[in-house]
Amino acid sequence: MATTITMPQLGETVTEGTVAQWLKKVGDTVEKYEAFVEVSTDKVNAEVPSPVTGTIREMLVKEGETVPTGAPIAIIDEVGAPSGTKAGDGQAPAAATPPAPVTAPPAPNGHAPSFVVHDGDLEMALRKASPAVRKLAREHHIDIRTIRGSGANGRVTASDVLTASSMGPAAAVGQAISVGTNFAATGAPAMPAATGGAKTPPPSGTSTYGEPIPGTIIPLNQARRIIAERMVESKHTAPHAWSMVEVDVTNVWKWRSREKDRFERETGYKLTLLPFFMRAVIESLAAFPLMNAKFTTDGIYVNKDVNIGIAIGLPTNLVVPVVKNADQKSIKGLAIAAGELIDKARKNKLGVDDLAGGTFTVNNNGANGSYASAPIINGGQAGIVTMETVVKKPVVRDDDSIAIRQMMNCCLSLDHRVVDGYVASGFLADLKRRLEKMPADGSL
Amino acid sequence: MAVMNNVEAVRATLYDALKNDDRTLILGEDVGARGNVFLITKDFVNEFGPERVIDTPIAEASIVGIAVGMAMEGLRPIAEIQFADFIYPAFNQIVGEAAKTRYRSNGEYTCPLVIRTPYGGGVRGALSHSVSIEALFYHVPGLKIVAPAFPADVKGLLNASIDDPDPVLFLEHKKTYRLIKGEVPDGHYTIPLGKANVLKEGSALTVVSYGLYVHWALEAAQKLQEEGLSVEVIDLRSIRPMDKATILESVRKTRKLLIVHEDNKFGGIGAEISAMVAEEALFDLDAPIRRLCAPDVPAMGYALPLEEEYMSSPAEMADAMREMVRF
């Protein structure tokens, strides 16, 4: 009997998964519970075990291809059952072959777009795209909205996608129509009308994120693609507003300095300002629950849980693991939880559960001296707040004396659909007050 | 190699079977003295005698029931239902007995029975000489259904059906009987049951059909070829087992599927093909699957306008193909 294996839902909010790597080939036998495919979602990889013992008949999804959760990805003939149809039609994974390189970032090429369509038409084009067109577009990394359809009523056909793909990046841009909105992640941004400007020479090769070479293209890996899509989506859908407060963290600094050696000795993790900051953020979220909410079409959903995402920059990508139920943790508990996640992130060991469920995000942005920043909100959250660099500054105090204090800026980006400046500034003021009230000699 | 029409191909194949295998025999209404209403078995009774070419009463349940017994006991009966329209009294013998014999006896008995019957319309046959019965039997595991369109296929598939150890319903489209001529290889040969035939290769649309409509679909596809539209035409030949591999291979190439059959649409052969392709090749489809079939009316009327309304035509098929290619 043939068992169809579907894309698992790795995490409650996950809607699609990418086949990162097939661990088996067509014709290979696989034991029940044996990992046979590596699926990546949300920038992590998870090995998926086989639910049956049998022989892999067909792999329906190529490496690098993204399909919705629940979509068939493979067919396994269970042991003892004859194969119903012919074996896979040449879709055996070629482990050494990376997915086709993406369409090059289009450059102004001196050609006026053939015609301009409006957003409504673009959405219509997407809605009318057949399963084959969607699949081919994914495989060839082509945004359907950038193709002029030759089918009935301008429908984009499978042949159109293949034609656009075969024309290559430069030609594809010429073929592409200008889009009203800027889908910088994968598509062609709006092109200026003919300017006679210099052409960007066609790319002559590829390089990597780690060693970028001028004049080459760095193929988008899964993580980069997801980051791009998420950033574009968040910036497009959530109107960002921004605010900043300056916080006196002298006491927190002293507290942390006093505890850090002992903490590191006891736990093995470094003690930074982050858990102190997180604790204050959590308490401010409790005071301003609208900041721990998300915008939905049904209304603003106020989260029950307080799950704090921690933005962690890695050399080639960004991950935001989540401390779950952070409101139930002490500063020490937060320090350990954050330490574990940071450790996992650096070792590339984060699991799907580590990344799911965030309700608000903090970004310790000051490590490299940043004084202020305007972060992009993690999609589905009401805001993100940063810790900028801590600097000693002369400060005029309430009694008009001048003192040297440890000062830190906190920057907040907020989803203006969820909250207005009134709530956001209240939240920031509350956060500042809580941080400044922290004792220099507290206990963890 | 001789040129034959479909009647001659059936006749020649049956004659060879009777001649070469003593276990074979023919039974049915008017197959003996009358030599079958289409003269397929004309003079057979004189050569092979009334014990091997048996005229039966007008009792279809008995024809098939007796044949089932003969087949289980080692003979190779070729039963004839004079018109497919009359097959209903034998439904229990076909579905309840013949199709289940092997399963019921755990393989101890098989039922190597062929039931031939002319079906289909377009010959002013009215309500009781025009039906397509395939969908009624299509649902039944244990039963094979064959519906050839060309004389060479008639011979190869009828030979395979006679050789087959299990029951086969062999459907002969009566309008093709003398309309369709073609070369038929000499000697005994078989064409495997369950193997479709790609009659014409194409790139923009797959058309699947069987029986009379294969010829019309081919005619329409050739017309489209002159217009520069490339259509692939598949003759199923065997309706069950379904040749999934050939259909899927074609659909994955052309990305569009049109099914044309004379039987009405609801619950027809096209429904199963459509479901199969949707299950197995959805992400290769670039257009909704379409079925061009008869309307859901109880029967093909006698009046010519009613018959024409019920039947499709090469022109209608060409229109449907054009729409799908251009979709």
- What pLDDT does residue A176 have? 34
- What pLDDT does residue A43 have? 52
- Choose from A157, A159, A161 for mutation: most chain B CBs within 10 A: A157
Whole-number average pLDDT of chain A: 80
Tally of domains within chain B:
2
Q: Any idea which of A234-238, B190-194, B310-314 has the lowest mean pLDDT?
A: A234-238
A-chain residues within 8 Å CB-CB of B245? 85-86
Chain centroid to Cα A76, Å, comes to 32
Residue B123, domain extent: 2-184
In SS3 terms, chain B reads as CEEEEHHHHHHHHHHHHHHHCCCEEEEECCCCCCCCCCCCCCCHHHHHCCCCEEECCCCHHHHHHHHHHHHHCCCEEEEECCCHHHCHHHHHHHHHHHHHHHHHCCCCCCCCCEEEEEECCCCCCCCCCCCCCHHHHHCCCCCEEECCCCHHHHHHHHHHHHHCCCCEEEEEECCHHHHCEEEECCCCCCCCCCCCEEEECCCCEEEEECCHHHHHHHHHHHHHHHCCCCEEEEECCEEECCCHHHHHHHHHHHCCEEEEEEEECCCCHHHHHHHHHHHHHHHHCCCCCEEEEECCCCCCCCCHHHHHHHCCCHHHHHHHHHHHHHC
Phi, psi (degrees; rounded to nearest 5) at A410? -120, 125
User: Which of A28, A58, A78 is the C-terminal boundary of a domain?
Assistant: A78
Taking residues A226-242, report their average pLDDT: 89
Minimal-distance CA residue of chain B relative to A133:
B286
Maximum mean pLDDT: which of A105-119, A397-411, B91-105: B91-105
> Is A300 found in the same domain as A387?
yes
Kindly state whether residue B201 falls inside one of the protein's structural domains: yes
> Is B316 found in the same domain as B214?
yes
- Name the residue among A291, A308, A309 with its Cα closest to residue A300: A291
- What pLDDT does residue A81 have? 52
Burial of A83 (0-12, 13-18, 19+ CB in 10 A): middle
Taking residues A294-301, report their average pLDDT: 90
pLDDT at position A93 over 70? no
Q: Any idea which of A210-224, B170-184, B285-299 has the lowest mean pLDDT?
A: A210-224
Phi, psi (degrees; rounded to nearest 5) at A178? -70, 140
More confident residue, A203 or B151: B151
User: Which of B120, B153, B184 is the C-terminal boundary of a domain?
Assistant: B184
User: Which of B130, B160, B184 is the C-terminal boundary of a domain?
Assistant: B184
- What pLDDT does residue A191 have? 37
pLDDT at position B8 over 90? yes
Percentage above 70 pLDDT, chain A: 79
- In the structure, what pLDDT confidence band is assigned to residue B209 with cuts at 50, 70 and 90? very high
Count the residues in chain A: 444
Q: Specify the long-range contacts of residues A301-306, CB closer than 8 Å, at least 24 apart.
A: A303/A359, A305/A357, A305/A359, A306/A282, A306/A359, A306/A360
Taking residues A34-54, report their average pLDDT: 82
- Name the residue among A412, A329, A9 with its Cα closest to residue A340: A329
> Is A300 found in the same domain as A159?
no
> Is B287 found in the same domain as B145?
no
CATH code of B206's domain = 3.40.50.920
Whole-number average pLDDT of chain B: 97
Kindly state whether residue A144 falls inside one of the protein's structural domains: yes
Kindly state whether residue A391 falls inside one of the protein's structural domains: yes
State yes or no: is A416 an active-site residue: yes
- What pLDDT does residue A152 have? 83
- In the structure, what pLDDT confidence band is assigned to residue B92 with cuts at 50, 70 and 90? very high
∠ CA A157-A158-A162, nearest 5°, is 120
- What pLDDT does residue A142 have? 83
> Is A359 found in the same domain as A301?
yes
Q: Which residues contact B128 (CB under 8 A, 6 or more apart)?
A: B83, B85, B86
Kindly state whether residue A226 falls inside one of the protein's structural domains: no
User: Which of A54, A78, A102 is the C-terminal boundary of a domain?
Assistant: A78
ipTM of the complex: 0.71
Kindly state whether residue A444 falls inside one of the protein's structural domains: no
> Is B205 found in the same domain as B153?
no
Query: In chain B, what's the furthest Cα-to-Cα distance?
Result: 60
- Name the residue among A427, A101, A103 with its Cα closest to residue A280: A427
pLDDT at position A172 over 70? no
> Is B213 found in the same domain as B311?
yes
pLDDT at position A353 over 90? no
Kindly state whether residue B189 falls inside one of the protein's structural domains: no
Q: Any idea which of A133-137, A238-242, A429-433, B267-271 has the lowest mean pLDDT?
A: A133-137
> Is B283 found in the same domain as B215?
yes
> Is A279 found in the same domain as A137?
no
> Is B201 found in the same domain as B122?
no
Say if A134 is an interface residue toward chain B (CB within 8 Å): yes
Minimal-distance CA residue of chain A relative to B325:
A151
Say if A151 is an interface residue toward chain B (CB within 8 Å): yes
Residues A45, A48, A54, A60: is their CA dihedral positive or negative? negative
Tell me whether residues B285 and A132 touch, CB distance under 8 A. yes
pLDDT at position B30 over 60? yes
Taking residues A384-399, report their average pLDDT: 93
pLDDT at position B186 over 90? yes
User: Which of B184, B217, B242 is the C-terminal boundary of a domain?
Assistant: B184
- What pLDDT does residue A21 have? 86
Q: How far is B196 from chain A (nearest CA, A)?
A: 15
Kindly state whether residue A73 falls inside one of the protein's structural domains: yes
CB B64 within 8 A of CB B98: yes
- What pLDDT does residue B110 have? 96
> Is B203 found in the same domain as B173?
no
> Is A193 found in the same domain as A54?
no
pLDDT at position A397 over 50? yes
- What pLDDT does residue A10 have? 75
- In the structure, what pLDDT confidence band is assigned to residue B321 with cuts at 50, 70 and 90? very high
> Is A274 found in the same domain as A195?
no
- Name the residue among B185, B90, B189 with its Cα closest to residue B143: B90
Kindly state whether residue A312 falls inside one of the protein's structural domains: yes
pLDDT at position A181 over 60? no
Taking residues A4-12, report their average pLDDT: 79
- What pLDDT does residue A159 have? 87
CB B117 within 8 A of CB B169: yes
Catalytic residue among A119, A305, A343, A420: A420
Kindly state whether residue B191 falls inside one of the protein's structural domains: no
pLDDT at position B304 over 80? yes
Closest to A132 (Cβ–Cβ): which among B248, B284, B323? Answer: B284
Q: Any idea which of A184-198, B8-22, B127-141 has the lowest mean pLDDT?
A: A184-198
Kindly state whether residue B120 falls inside one of the protein's structural domains: yes
CA distance A403 to A401: 6
> Is A397 found in the same domain as A250?
yes
Q: Which residues contact A436 (CB under 8 A, 6 or more apart)?
A: A247, A248, A249, A251
- In this structure, what is the dihedral angle of CA atoms A55, B102, B118, B212, given to the nearest 10 degrees? 0
Q: What is the DSSP letter of A118?
A: -
CA distance A143 to A188: 8
Kindly state whether residue A110 falls inside one of the protein's structural domains: no
Closest to B286 (Cβ–Cβ): which among A60, A89, A158? Answer: A158
- Choose from B243, B247, B286, B322 for mutation: most chain A CBs within 10 A: B286
- What pLDDT does residue A114 have? 34
Tally of domains within chain A:
3
Count the residues in chain B: 327
Residue A336, domain extent: 239-437
- What pLDDT does residue A352 have? 78
Taking residues A37-62, report their average pLDDT: 83
User: Beta strand A66-68 with A16-22: parallel, antiparallel or unpaired?
Assistant: antiparallel
> Is A326 found in the same domain as A275?
yes
A-chain residues within 8 Å CB-CB of B326? 151-152
CA-to-CA separations, A440 to A255, A259, A282, A444, in angstroms, rounded:
5, 10, 20, 11
- What pLDDT does residue A46 have? 82
A-chain residues within 8 Å CB-CB of B244? 85
Q: What is the DSSP letter of A368?
A: G
CA distance B172 to B148: 7
> Is B231 found in the same domain as B174?
no
What is the Cβ-side half-sphere exposure of residue A93, based on CA atoms within 13 angstroms?
25
Kindly state whether residue A386 falls inside one of the protein's structural domains: yes
pLDDT at position B148 over 70? yes
Maximum mean pLDDT: which of A298-312, A350-364, B234-248: B234-248
> Is A195 found in the same domain as A269?
no
Kindly state whether residue B254 falls inside one of the protein's structural domains: yes
Kindly state whether residue B71 falls inside one of the protein's structural domains: yes
Kindly state whether residue B76 falls inside one of the protein's structural domains: yes
More confident residue, A24 or B77: B77
Taking residues A94-115, report their average pLDDT: 37
CB B149 within 8 A of CB B210: yes
Interface contacts (A, B; CB < 8 Å): 35
CATH code of A7's domain = 2.40.50.100
- What pLDDT does residue A151 have? 86
> Is B203 found in the same domain as B174?
no
Closest to B327 (Cβ–Cβ): which among A85, A86, A152? Answer: A152
CA distance B251 to B272: 15
Chain centroid to Cα A31, Å, comes to 33
> Is B172 found in the same domain as B269?
no
Chain centroid to Cα A429, Å, comes to 29
Q: How far is A37 from chain B (nearest CA, A)?
A: 20
User: What's at A79, amino acid-wise?
Assistant: V
Q: What is the DSSP letter of A217?
A: B
CATH code of B79's domain = 3.40.50.970
SS3 at position A39: strand
CA distance A108 to A93: 36
> Is A370 found in the same domain as A297?
yes
> Is A380 found in the same domain as A289?
yes
CA distance B295 to B301: 12
Q: How far is B323 from chain A (nearest CA, A)?
A: 9
> Is B135 found in the same domain as B45?
yes
Q: How far is A276 from chain B (nearest CA, A)?
A: 51
> Is A246 found in the same domain as A213?
no
Kindly state whether residue B13 falls inside one of the protein's structural domains: yes
- What pLDDT does residue A109 have? 38
> Is B269 found in the same domain as B179?
no
- What pLDDT does residue A127 have? 66
pLDDT at position B297 over 70? yes
- What pLDDT does residue A123 have? 63
pLDDT at position A91 over 50? no
